[in-house]
Amino acid sequence: MSEAFDAVDVILVKRDRGVLSDEQIDWVVDAYTRGVVAEEQMSALLMAVLLNGMDRSEIARWTAAMIASGERMSFAGLSRPTADKHSTGGVGDKVTLPLVPLVAACGVAVPQLSGRGLGHTGGTLDKLEAVPGWRASLSNDAMMQQLESVGAVICAAGTGLAPADRKLYALRDVTGTVETIPLIASSIMSKKIAEGTGALVLDVKVGSGAFMKDAASASELARTMVALGTDAGVRTVALLTAMDVPLGRTAGNALEVRESVDVLAGGGPPDVVELTLTLAREMLAAAGVTDLDPADRLADGSAMDTWRAMIAAQGGDPDAELPTARESHTVSATADGVLVTLDALAVGVAAWRLGAGRARKEDPVQAGAGVEWHAVPGDEVRRGQPLLTLHTDTPERFERALAALAPGVVVGPVGATVDRLPLVVDRITA
């Protein structure tokens, strides 16, 4: 068949800072998905987008073209409203695990399609696979049945949702074109809109451990995604949340599951509890449920009951012992003082080097590997007091993990003050 456009002509428009037409965008996304546009041609176009940007109409059309490359799901047949949450990724961000059953326990179904970790940011599916027997892959029919019976699903996205994005994401990863707002926003929102949820809460991380290091760029990304969701008929709100310091007290797979279960049991670190409840209230409000306080569902055990049902429905044993690493190493304070820095990126890289993450999509992960921290910025510490514990099955990894941590863990003098971002930096709506 003859093609409507030539790939080189499309590349030249964006190279020369022009605006791509709707027809050009529709064609190039479809043609790339079909294999007509070569990898090197799409690489050139992606780099031109990174360097020269896209306007709002281009981003919206690019997102729509990626949605059109595959199927769209619908939850209209469910007996309860739906809401979903997406985090742009951070260190120790295990909030999805307690959040999904908590919101489901409040009567809103949560179809949480999640991914795997790459680099220093952890993946929800990797974490849950630390639970013996739990499986990430579900058919659409099984997902619908579980949403109706349990109200909560955390699973891998099917191959039919936005296949153009899956292909583009892999290409961006190897061509240095990940960190650009038009491509990040369209990648996230194409999947979330195609997924068919009625309401969406975006957790956009800001700080050293996030893609977006400063509030201005995080805010721009959040506004772009909220506009895309709103224009597509999805009730969308975004929170900018802190990722200068890692979340909770653990980064790793089984370590974070254990901490999440603590939250569902009514304990857990205060920041994880606060962010879980804040996001739950946003999801419930977006789904039209305003007469329930999710804190009550943590307190009465119903969120834990939903967690257990969700894990069991996907083949997991909620009572099984979680894996632990064979080796550990403790980092202690060398002087009295105040912990003034616990850098999220440093902790994330250390956990990755210990085996909790992967450098390539096909790499395996260690379920028990990761980092625990026993103090947070602002805490007084004493010489010899344990600050962190490192976990791995392969002790030869400790040296490189410690090298990553060294500049990111700083104890200041007694009385030192600490400047931290608030947990919720901003709230953005249409």
Catalytic residues: 86, 165, 172, 187, 191
Contact 84, 199 (CB under 8 A): yes
* 3-state class (DSSP) for residue 79: coil
What type of residue is 34?
A: R
Tokens 């975004």 sit on residue = 238
Q: What are phi and psi of 360, to 5 degrees?
A: -130, 155
Residues 305 and 265: their CA atoms lie apart, in Å, by 10
Tokens 């491509």 sit on residue = 183
Strand partners, 327: 392
**Largest Cα–Cα distance of the chain, in whole Å?**
74
For β-strands 337-342 and 235-242, DSSP reports them as: unpaired
Q: In the numeric block, which tokens belong to residue 373?
A: 């921290």
Compute how many other C-beta atoms are within 10 angstroms of the C-beta atom of residue 32.
Answer: 22
